[in-house]
Amino acid sequence: MTGKGHSTTTAVALICACAAAVLTAPGTAFASPAEPTPPSNRSLEKVRKEIERLYREAGTATDAYNAAEEKAEKQSEEIVRLARSIDKGQTKLDRLKARAGAAARAQYRGGGVPDEARLLLSENPSRFLDGAGRLRQGQHATKAMLTEMSRTQADLKTYAKDASAQWKKLEANRKAKAEAKKQVKKKIATAEKLESRLEKKERERLRKLEEEAALRQQSAWVDTGILKDANGKATSPGKKAIAFATAQMGKPYVWGAEGPKSYDCSGLTSQAWAAAGKTIPRTSQEQWKRLPRVDVQNMRPGDLIIYHQDASHVGLYVGDGAIVHAPRPGRNVTLAGAGSMEILGVVRPDK
């Protein structure tokens, strides 16, 4: 591989190597304070946990928002399709009605004389028989036309009924989307307000506490030996997904975002796999529900790790015990320990 692709691969390898040194080191030591933690630090730890809870709830609401948005988009597309079908069916019905009207007028001009009378009155019986044959063909055609008209009218009724149902679903999902949006903003605003009350030094300490908590959880996870068997190799599409995701590092988390300037967690993973040529569900919850699952010890780079019992967060596994993910509002796309959060399970987009 040459050019940009080579530099991207090299950069990813370097990132993973650095991450491996920190993230997979068993028994990572943590400095313990020489003196008992002062009350202010205990209070700060409570703030950290509360902020973490709020952002997790915001993540759940974000997933609900994304799901409602995705459904609304599909329903809008279905309504447009049905509207086109209705328009097409109405044009067809109008054309059939015009033909039926022409046939009725022709019959009226013919006087509606019975075939037997026409035979008796005809000077040329053979010409009459030819005409009678054509008449029977016309009658069969008229019958088929009327059947087609009836079927077209029934189709139009079905289309209209389906369109009405889709409108109701669309409206319901719009309301669900609006409520989820309200919840996202509320949770984020509360978390930001909590953080804004802290002085600069306290905010710096808060961030350090976050990093320490994540590292403790990662170290405990690695110490279980879970990574001993997780030595699978990335597939070609998996490498492309990793290259895309790592190239987004440093871009901010924005809820509901799918790039290119910002992402939420599932926006990043879905776009990474889209770049690899694979369409996957938009939300972390749907990714968990619909993608094939694999055991954690059998995961390979490119797999998606789903977090928390409500499947409200997702990261892309890059190997060596690390993920790339969009963490939360106020943070950027970054590398993190794959075990630094509660793992629900692993799914494989290209199984």
The type of residue at 45 is E
Active site residue 16: no
Distance CA 170, CA 166 (A): 6
Active site residue 325: yes
Q: Which helix (H) or strand (E) holds 237?
A: helix 236-247
Tokens encoding 272: 């990474």
Q: Which of 6, 18, 140, 265 is catalytic?
A: 265
> Which residues have a Cβ under 8 Å from the Cβ of 1 and sit 6 or more positions away?
9
Distance CA 315, CA 265 (A): 7
Tokens encoding 11: 């950069």
Phi, psi of 228 (to 5 degrees): -60, -40
Phi, psi of 339 (to 5 degrees): -105, 15
> How far is the CA of 99 from the CAs of 88, 120, 153, 183, in angstroms?
17, 31, 15, 58
Query: Dmax over Cα atoms in the chain, in whole Å?
Result: 126
Helices (H) and strands (E) in the chain, counts: 8, 6
Helix pair 3-23, 236-247: axis angle to 10 deg: 80
Phi, psi of 317 (to 5 degrees): -70, 130
**Rg of the chain taking only CA atoms, in angstroms:** 33
Give me the torsion for CA of 238, 244, 250, 252, rounded to 10°.
-100
Which amino acids are annotated catalytic?
265, 313, 325
